Amino acid sequence: MSDKPTQLITDDQQAAPALRLVILLLVSTVAAGLVYVLWSFPASAPGLTHTVATQMSQSGVSHPVTAVLLNFRGYDTLLEMVVLLMALLGVWTLGGTADYHDHAPGPVLDTLARLLAPVLILVAAYLLWVGAHAPGGAFQAGSVLGAAGVLLLLAGWRPHVTLIALPLRLLLIIGPAAFVAMALVTLISEGRLLAYPVAQAGTLILILETAATLSIGVTLAALFLGGELSDTQSK
Amino acid sequence: MFALVGAGLFALGLYALIIHAHLLRKILAFNVMGSGVFMILVALAKRSGDVVDPVPHAMVITGIVVAVSATALALTLMLKLNAASGHARLNDDSQD
């Protein structure tokens, strides 16, 4: 394999045609096996639908997906917040990329970002609220919030240096921290991890979701910036 | 039906993941594979009759966000590798 420096985009080498044929055959075998397994599944399987439905009255929300995410399988969501944070820490550890140039945004992008950012934030808040009884919730709202952040960053907006130091890190940590705190409190009071008292479940889930939304949105926008923020911090 | 499309996407991504040396293409192929898996999960959730099984849906939502963050980490690693070595692929010989 030649080792000369090449361009980032054009540097693609493919396997030799004969080898590609073998790979194609192997992958086709995998695909055929997959299709066979999918085909042999029973056409109707209730899965956990019934189990979830019978427990819905205990969950504090009326949308089953939100109930699974935040209540029945809250543990998964707690760990996922940590995964997001770990990914961002990994990106920050690698440091900033030198060839990341800022361009002055054109008038269209600038106007669009100014118009859309408040709308996207409103949509995120609506998605967060509606998640209790319809499709929506912390992850969707967080993604929309992250998209608003990315749009602003593309338009050349950068958070002020004083905002980056502590407030940004607080926003990043508030979601996982709220989850861990809730897990500890419920572990002590109810005896089980993230087992909310039935009466307050709805409120607690909304609080958790708000914290999670903020963290997810800020994490995604920070991931988009890459190592740049960590550099600003050290300067 | 959608599950079969998901299986097709998975195979397509696996094929591209193997034959391309460029890391950006590998990352893209990996995302296509992931989309195939999500599609299979969502399609299988429909088997439970009128009410869709919410557990696979919750898993897919979780998975999408994790996939996005993992992709961001992978892209940063690729940029770093490109900045350090001048190319964006993994060498077969372990000398490098």
The string of pLDDT tens digits covering residues A121-148 is: 999 888 888 877 777 788 888 889 988 9
Question: Among A31-35, A98-102, A196-200, B8-12, which stretch is predicted with the lowest mean pLDDT?
Answer: A98-102
CB B76 within 8 A of CB A229: no
ipTM over 0.90: no
Please report how many Cα atoms fall inside a 13 Å half-sphere around the Cα of residue B80, on the Cβ side.
Answer: 15
User: Which helix (H) or strand (E) segment is A138 a member of?
Assistant: helix A138-154
- pLDDT of residue A235 exceeding 50, the answer is no
Q: Which residue has the higher pLDDT, A36 or A9?
A: A36
Report the residue of chain A nearest B11, measured CA to CA: A31
Q: Which residues contact A34 (CB under 8 A, 6 or more apart)?
A: B7, B10, B11
B55 contacts A73? CB cut-off 8 A: yes
Question: What are the structural domains of chain B?
Answer: 2-85 (1.10.287.3510)
Amino acid at A67: A
Cβ neighbours of A96 (radius 10 Å) = 20
Q: Which residue has the higher pLDDT, A174 or B47?
A: A174
A12 contacts B21? CB cut-off 8 A: yes
The CA distance from A19 to B88, in Å, is 22
A41 contacts B56? CB cut-off 8 A: no
The CA distance from B33 to B6, in Å, is 8
A28 is written with which tokens? 């086709």
B31 is written with which tokens? 């995302």
Burial A36-66 (b: 16+ CB within 10 A, else e): eebeeeeeeeebbbeebeeebeebbbebbbb
Helices (H), chain A: 17-40, 49-59, 64-67, 74-93, 107-130, 138-154, 161-165, 167-189, 201-225, 228-234
- pLDDT of residue A208 exceeding 70, the answer is yes
Place of tokens 């909304």: A206
Tell me what pLDDT residue B31 has: 92
A222 is written with which tokens? 């920070």
A68: DSSP letter: I
User: Which helix (H) or strand (E) segment is A201 a member of?
Assistant: helix A201-225
Amino acid at A101: H
Q: Which of A29, A55, A68 to mutate to test the interface with B (most CBs of B within 10 A)?
A: A68
The CA distance from A225 to B72, in Å, is 10
CB A52 within 8 A of CB A67: yes
Question: Which stretches in chain B have pLDDT values below 50?
Answer: 94-96
Residues of A in contact with B11 (CB under 8 A): 27-28, 30-31, 34
CB contacts under 8 A, B 20-79 vs A, are 20-22, 24-25, 40, 44-45, 47-49, 51-59, 61-62, 64-66, 68-70, 72-73, 76-77, 79
A216 contacts B65? CB cut-off 8 A: yes
A112 is written with which tokens? 């669009």
Tell me what pLDDT residue A4 has: 41
The CA distance from B72 to A224, in Å, is 7
The CA distance from A139 to A172, in Å, is 14
Cβ neighbours of B26 (radius 10 Å) = 21
B25 contacts A87? CB cut-off 8 A: no
CB contacts under 8 A, B 11-30 vs A, are 11, 14-15, 18-22, 24-25
Q: Which residue has the higher pLDDT, A228 or B18?
A: B18
CA angle A74, B63, A37 (to 5 degrees): 110
CB A144 within 8 A of CB A127: yes
| Residues making up chain B, counted from first to last | 96
The CA distance from A28 to A175, in Å, is 43
- pLDDT of residue A234 exceeding 50, the answer is no
Tell me what pLDDT residue B95 has: 43
B7 contacts A38? CB cut-off 8 A: yes
B20 contacts A1? CB cut-off 8 A: no
A14 contacts B61? CB cut-off 8 A: no
The CA distance from A149 to A117, in Å, is 8
CB A71 within 8 A of CB A196: yes
Nearest residue, CB atoms, A44 vs list B24, B49, B66: B49
The string of pLDDT tens digits covering residues A61-91 is: 777 777 777 777 778 888 888 898 888 888 8
Instruction: Share the mean pLDDT of chain A.
Output: 78
Tell me what pLDDT residue A5 has: 42
Tell me what pLDDT residue A184 has: 86
B20 SS3 class: strand
Residue range A165-178: mean pLDDT, rounded: 85
Residue range A99-127: mean pLDDT, rounded: 81
Q: Which of B40, B42, B61, B78 to mutate to test the interface with A (most CBs of A within 10 A)?
A: B61
Tell me what pLDDT residue B32 has: 92
- A59 lies within 8 A of chain B by CB: no
Residues of B in contact with A44 (CB under 8 A): 47-49
CB A54 within 8 A of CB B56: no
Q: Which of A22, A28, A30, A65 to mutate to test the interface with B (most CBs of B within 10 A)?
A: A65
Ordered by start, the domain boundaries in chain A are 60-234
Give pTM, 2 decimals: 0.77
B3 contacts A30? CB cut-off 8 A: no
